[in-house]
Amino acid sequence: MANSEQKTGTFEKRKPAGLIPTGFQIFLSLLWGGNHVSIKASLEYGSPLQVGWMRFVAGGVVTFAYMLLRKESFLVSKNEVRPLLIIGALFTVQIMFMNVGQYLTTAGHATALNSTYPIWAAVIAHFLVPTDTLTRWKVLAIVLSYIGILTIVFGDAGVVVPGVSIEGDLMSLLSAILLGLRLVLMSNFAQNMSEAKIMFGQLVIGILLFLVGSFIFESPKYSIELRFWLALAYQGFVIAGFGFLANAWLVKKYLPSTVTFYSFIQPPAGVLLAWLVLSEDPGRGLLGGLIFVVAGAITFGSQSFIKARKREILV
């Protein structure tokens, strides 16, 4: 056991998420359910890259204030440059796929497909985080929840759904894969540096690249409509600010797959909000998908909770 801990080094500081962090992650997932709805609403008035950099500015304000309150240094040491550049690049490409994908498909589809990132996070963590391996129960939970997501998205096969496109769906899925990779790498990097600094760094890089890209490839327009600014405030201050910081804190302290899994709650929340806010018909697949998602969450959550309790007893 001692040799194993020496090999894994700082990874041993992370543990399976227990009851309180799990409850907090469920709360965050409910908030995240409205993210794609707010993005879709804002894209009615602005272009994808424009909405991206404006959102990052709002998130950067929250992160900057948080770092000031914690009296964290904004100086970047030599050994922090590589992690910041890697996370910043992944973040920029992932959000680009997410925003463009959202522009090309419905909010319900984008929410469901982007929310598959816990699958990719769990698989990637199996190879990159020595203590976060796949188990048969974790695989079963992933399969159940993924069936639920597919049911939500494709449960109305044969029915023409306005606003859905294969291109948009594929971009949303690529965004989910990159997000899973980014969260696992961020969890590793955050063992040796501030998670808030990582968040602030990725936002700064995102702002610069999206701002330049918007003026080169788009013809940005700035609306005074209240709906646009409310949607931007939600995805900026609430998600890119509070949500990003909260998720970074969770993956710093707990094994990535045990805190990302409950993001499977996002699809039902997002589909319902898309129906209420954007009048998108959720279709008959929603109820069937919810059954599988809840079954997967219970399977995964039970194992994570038991592991966390056993670890606390041993300590």
DSSP string, 164-176: --HHHHHHHHHHH
Type of residue numbered 72: E
Supply φ then ψ for residue 163, to 5 degrees. Answer: 90, -5
Average pLDDT over every residue of 122-126: 84
Q: What is the pLDDT of residues 154-175, one digit of tens each?
A: 765 555 556 767 788 889 889 9
Is the pLDDT higher at 2 or at 16? 16
**In this predicted structure, what is the pLDDT of residue 181?**
94
| Mean pLDDT within 124-137 | 81
Contact 11, 189 (CB under 8 A): no
Nearest to 175 by CA among 115, 222, 134, 109: 115
- Tokens representing 82 are 């590589």
Both tokens of 70, joined, read 């914690």
Tell me the per-residue pLDDT of 30-47, one tens digit each, with 9 for 90 and over.
888 888 889 889 999 999
Please check whether residue 247 is in contact with residue 183, taking contact to mean a CB–CB distance below 8 angstroms: yes
pLDDT of residue 303: 64
- Return d(Cα 257, Cα 138) in angstroms, integer: 9
DSSP assignments along 14-66, one per residue: -B---HHHHHHHHHHHHHHTTHHHHHHHHTTTS-HHHHHHHHHHHHHHHHHHH
How far apart, in whole angstroms, are the C-alpha atoms of residue 86 and residue 256?
A: 18
Alpha-carbon distance of 282 to 255, in angstroms, equals 33
